[in-house]
Amino acid sequence: MRIGINGYYLTTLNSGIGQYSINLLRALAEIDKKNKYFVFTTQKIDWNLPENFRLKVVSPLPLFRRTFFNRFFWEEYQLGNALKRYKIEVFHGLYQSLPRSAEKIGAVVTIHDAIPWRFPFERKQLTYRWYSDLRKDLVTKRANKIITVSETSKIDFAAIYGIKPETIEVTYESIDPVFWKKPTPTEIDQFKKTYKLNRDYILYTGGLKRHKNIRMLIKSFAILIKDHGYQGDLYILGAIRKTMAVSPYIYYRVEDLEKYAKLKKIGDRVKFVGFVSRKDMSLFMHQAQAFVSLSLYEGFGLPAIEAMTSGTPSVLSNLGAYPEIAAGAGLFVYPYGPHRIAEALHRVVTDANLSRQLVKKGLEKARFFDRIKIAQRVLEIYKEVYDDYKINFQP
């Protein structure tokens, strides 16, 4: 098979879709030495996959860079032309986008969630509303097979996209192997020096989008300090993506979050680190007292799985996919109750038995998300749509 992959998010590996993309491609590269893959990106990136995985740069138009018009033209027309140029037989859109002509071959798309339609502020920008609505309509017409990353996400977006849930395939996300590796004492020492870590901390990763509920996290952390005497810091990793078109309405600004932390009189206890490497992300996870995410919705919630893999106990929102993917392996909280959230964080960092129990269950749960098995199922889906394409469209 000649398999085309939309690698748009490979230029933004700090994003959830970026991690989904690279984790899946690396696993596919381990199990598939036969088929030819053509991975399309907007610019050159570090590339160390086998010879049957070829990186193809399709440069966007020089006009209106980092706008949704430019992005749509790249996804729709430039990728559509690439399908013909490289004689692609199966195409996988790793997010809710399929180019023109994809319906004439084996077309697979991964739809991660329905977040833009769940939160009105997500679609406040007119061009993003146009882009997201048009993309939604086109993928439902063009896809031969739709993949999503959790049962929660499947049920949620099926109604919004007007798709029967039974026609959607669930293949969970896989974990970067770096989180399974326990850091050495030397690595830990260097890490602490680099980031000037001199006391315990609670960690949040997962981006700065508004539905991540970070203001509530800061408010809850202030209560943890005031009412429970917590002596550590809160580290917040992530930043606003600047490599692609984004709507300014969907993100918190770091300066606004810093002002809010100062208003709560904990400005010196909340650390905004920005983007870090995957290696450093793993070290942050392994050394944290607890991981916390109060997200109002997750289609999957990869950082929670990364925390489990790292042996770090978690306090998680009871909304979205977290209860599905982390059942029994996290302490769940209602994400609008700051006092209860603070109490849960206090329990995790002070109750050694509870912490050990969560770590044990988390490691057991993390093994379920086997990257090779997930990649094998995706490869089977490629073969299924390829067979249909050969039967239906070839003379």
Give me the helices (H) in 44-197, please. 68-73, 79-85, 115-118, 126-142, 151-161, 185-194
Q: Please determine whether the domains at 2-174+370-390 and 177-366 fall in the same fold group of CATH.
A: yes
Q: Residues 56, 39: contact at Cβ < 8 Å?
A: yes
Kindly give the confidence (pLDDT) of every residue in the chain, 395 residues in length, as a single tens digit, with 9 standing for 90 and above: 999 999 999 998 888 899 999 999 999 999 999 999 999 999 999 999 999 999 999 999 998 888 999 999 999 999 999 999 999 999 999 999 999 999 899 999 999 998 888 888 888 899 999 999 999 999 999 999 999 999 999 999 898 888 888 889 999 998 999 999 999 999 999 999 999 999 999 999 999 999 999 999 999 999 999 999 999 999 999 888 777 777 888 999 999 999 999 999 999 999 999 999 999 999 999 999 999 999 999 999 999 999 999 999 999 999 999 999 999 999 999 999 999 999 999 999 999 999 999 999 999 999 999 999 999 999 999 999 998 877 775 54
By C-alpha distance, which of 313, 320, 346 is closest to 113? Answer: 320
Q: Which CATH architecture has domain 2-174+370-390?
A: 3-Layer(aba) Sandwich (3.40)
Q: What is the pTM of this model?
A: 0.92
Q: Is the separation of the CB atoms in 335 and 318 below 8 Å?
A: yes
Question: Are the C-beta atoms of residues 44 and 57 closer than 8 Å to each other?
Answer: yes
| Rounded Cα distance, 154 and 168, in Å | 7
Fold held by 177-366: Rossmann fold (3.40.50)
Per the listing, tokens 């770091």 go with: 254
Domain residue ranges in the chain: 2-174+370-390, 177-366
Contacts of 205 (CB under 8 A, 6+ apart): 236, 237, 238, 281, 284, 285, 291, 303, 306
| Helix axis angle, 278-287 to 302-309, nearest 10° | 60
Q: How many CB atoms lie within 10 A of CB 65?
A: 12
At 265, is the secondary structure helix, strand, or coil?
Answer: coil
